Structure 1
Amino acid sequence: MKLMDTIGFLELNSIAKGIEVVDYMLKAADATLIMARASCPGKYYIMISGQVAAIERSMEVGVEMGGRYVVGELLIPRINPSVIQAINMAKVPENIRAVGVLEYYSATGSIIAADFAVKAADVELLAIQLGTGIAGKSFVVLTGDVAAVKAAVEAGTQGAKDQAMLINKIVLSNPRPELIDSLIQ
């Protein structure tokens, strides 16, 4: 199995260019395609994973090929594996004591914030929603005890502040189960 300790994420504002860029990125180095898809409002998201040097090379090629269509990019070495697992899929733990939500104007913001959050506190990611059907916005949903969720939300906010525009953040203690169900549908 290939070591996947690093992710690269590219956000473009052209679907056709995004499709072309994916091909070049995958041919440039030994990277595994995690996701490549069109999203609202006419953006294209690409996520790759692999070893640091390979992802750096693929991202260089992606940014160069994407040119003026690139609206966001990030490379995160030593990413917490739960970030990759939580992107657009979710699971519900048995006992939810608190929920935190971080909302951003870009998909890159949520990925960066999620990684900072799970590295800072004992929390579990429930979901990372990347812009599909929500006008290009994105959000992270995480859970744990109240103090850990507060610490994780603050760490995510601070960690992403230079690279992404935060819309809002919340922490709820003892949320109702119906609310949790609605967040991960």
Structure 2
Amino acid sequence: MSKSIGMVEFTSISRGIYAVDQMVKTAEVEIVTATTTCPGKYFAIVTGDVASVNNSVEVGEQYAKEYLIDSMVIPSVAPEVFPAIAGGVMPEYMDAVGIVEAFALAPMVVAADSVLKAVNVEPIELRLGNGLGGKSFFTFTGDVAAVTAGIESAKNALMLKGLLVNAEVIPSPSPKVLPSLL
């Protein structure tokens, strides 16, 4: 059974924590992450079956009130999204690296999911807001053609909302730059 994820972003940290408490009390979901982000916001991702996640996100929206920035649900998320959010893994070999940068958090998760579903690439990291001034980025690796196609998929997902900052493909990355990817 595939997992669903829901994301809610708040302008208020205190309201965010309060709303997330209500989200997990009223729906059978697990917290993937619930944390402060730059600049002084709160962001939560929950997972579970589609109905529970939809219910949880609706509750989050209701309790957020005027502090709601954005919310989204991905009904069947690519399983590789979870380790990328958790901090990433450095692959042993990289033919090419893709980096996508966005002005928002939840839409970047949607973009990363679209990449992982569209092409055969391996996620490195999905960083959401911490130490980034409210921005986010997704790094992934694969062969040059797959990474290039993945970049196009992510750009298409982010440009719909005008949230793309930049995206790059690095063919044959130098071993000296690889440690900076995590």
Normalising by structure 2, what TM-score? Answer: 0.96
In the TM superposition, structure 1's runs of 4+ consecutive aligned residues that sit over 6 Å from their partners are none
Count how many residue pairs are aligned between Structure 1 and Structure 2: 182
* Aligned CA distance change for structure 1 residues 70 and 4 (closer, same or farther; 3 Å): farther
Identify the residue that residue 169 of structure 2 maps to in structure 1.
Answer: 171
Identify the residue that residue 111 of structure 2 maps to in structure 1.
Answer: 113
Q: Give the CA deviation at 1:164.
A: 5.4
Q: Give the CA deviation at 1:139.
A: 0.2
Please say if 1:19 is aligned against 2:17: yes
Identify the residue that residue 152 of structure 2 maps to in structure 1.
Answer: 154
Given that 1:86 and 1:125 are in contact with CA atoms closer than 8 Å, whether structure 2 keeps it comes out as yes
Identify the residue that residue 50 of structure 2 maps to in structure 1.
Answer: 52
Distance 1:118 1:79 in 2: 9
Q: Which runs of 5+ in 1 are unaligned?
A: none
Identify the residue that residue 41 of structure 1 maps to in structure 2.
Answer: 39
Q: Which runs of 5+ in 2 are unaligned?
A: none
Q: Give the CA deviation at 1:92.
A: 1.3
Identify the residue that residue 7 of structure 1 maps to in structure 2.
Answer: 5
Q: Give the CA deviation at 1:4.
A: 5.9
Distance 2:56 2:155 in 1: 28
In structure 1, what residue type is equivalent to 2:104?
A: S
Aligned mate of 1:97, from 95, 98, 106: 95
In structure 1, what residue type is equivalent to 2:95?
A: R
Q: Give the CA deviation at 1:160.
A: 3.1
Distance 2:130 2:89 in 1: 19
Given that 2:102 and 2:158 are in contact with CA atoms closer than 8 Å, whether structure 1 keeps it comes out as no
Matches within 5 A, 1:125-144: 125-144=123-142
The more displaced of 45-54 and 63-72 is: 63-72
Distance 2:20 2:81 in 1: 21
Q: Provide the identity percentage.
A: 37
Does the residue aligned with 1:53 lie in a helix, a strand or coil? helix
Distance 2:71 2:157 in 1: 15
Distance 1:154 1:28 in 2: 38
Identify the residue that residue 82 of structure 2 maps to in structure 1.
Answer: 84
